[in-house]
Amino acid sequence: MKSSTPPHKISIPPPNKENWTTQNPFEEFKMFTTSTPNLPMDQIVQSTEAVMDRIRWGYEKLLEEEAKELVWMVQYNTIIKAYEVAEKYVKEINYTAEDIEDFCFALENTQRIPYLIPGPAGIYISALCNYANEEEIILKLSELKTEINLVGFRLPKGKRLMIEGDTGDFTGIGLEGGELVIDGNAKNWTGAGMRGGKILIKKNIGLHTGEWMMEGEIYVGGRVRGLGNIVEGKVYEREKLLYPGKVRYPNVYY
């Protein structure tokens, strides 16, 4: 006769909680480590500051060598001489279009640049743009309280310079085939002596527009306050051909 005694159950006591350990599921990946970048952020910042120091130094040298003569009475031979000085220093700097914009911002927003003189500043900015590797450059000058003169001086063929904001006198003078776009107003003598290329002013323009221009086109989205003595070229006002056209006396308010 079979026994009715139930089978003996073996009880296993739970492990001691003190011996419990939590296993990291990512433990096996400990051996995989990432390498340190060759150019940490602090080195990149230092490199950028070094470039800006060189750009500022070139501008200060231009002021030292030319500001005494310029004073700033603008004459074409004086502008040429100042531009040659700017070229000399700009050619030695390895910079980008972004560095040019940083320099423009620093002109009025830092104590590291002694003072802003619209003429020399414009010549120096023009040299930076003309020798930059980029074919298209955008500069935000709308935040500056001072309107920069001589922006776009000698802009060469193949370059496109766009300015956000207003510019001062002598914008785009001596243009050499480039395209200059001003998203704002320009003052007097715009496009004077230009030898080719295109200038587009989105708003209004001042007196002596196109004075002695030899070739090229000037487009004005607003009003042309006065034309200069134009040799060759075309001037448009609100998409209408202004010169050559009806005889209009130079430098008269229209």
pLDDT given for residue 150 in this prediction = 95
The 10s digit of each residue's pLDDT in 145-193 is 889 999 999 999 999 999 999 999 999 999 999 999 999 999 999 999 9
- Assess whether pLDDT exceeds 70 at residue 253: no
Sequence ranges of the domains in the chain? 42-135, 151-254
- Predicted TM-score (pTM) of this structure: 0.78
pLDDT given for residue 131 in this prediction = 97
* Spatial separation of the C-alpha atoms in residues 213 and 63, rounded to whole Å: 29
- Assess whether pLDDT exceeds 50 at residue 29: no
The 10s digit of each residue's pLDDT in 186-225 is 999 999 999 999 999 999 999 999 999 999 999 999 999 9
Angle at 162 (CA atoms; ends 110, 73), nearest 5 degrees: 65
Average model confidence (pLDDT) for the chain? 83
Percentage of the chain beyond pLDDT 70 is: 72
Q: Are 60 and 114 in contact (CB under 8 A)?
A: yes
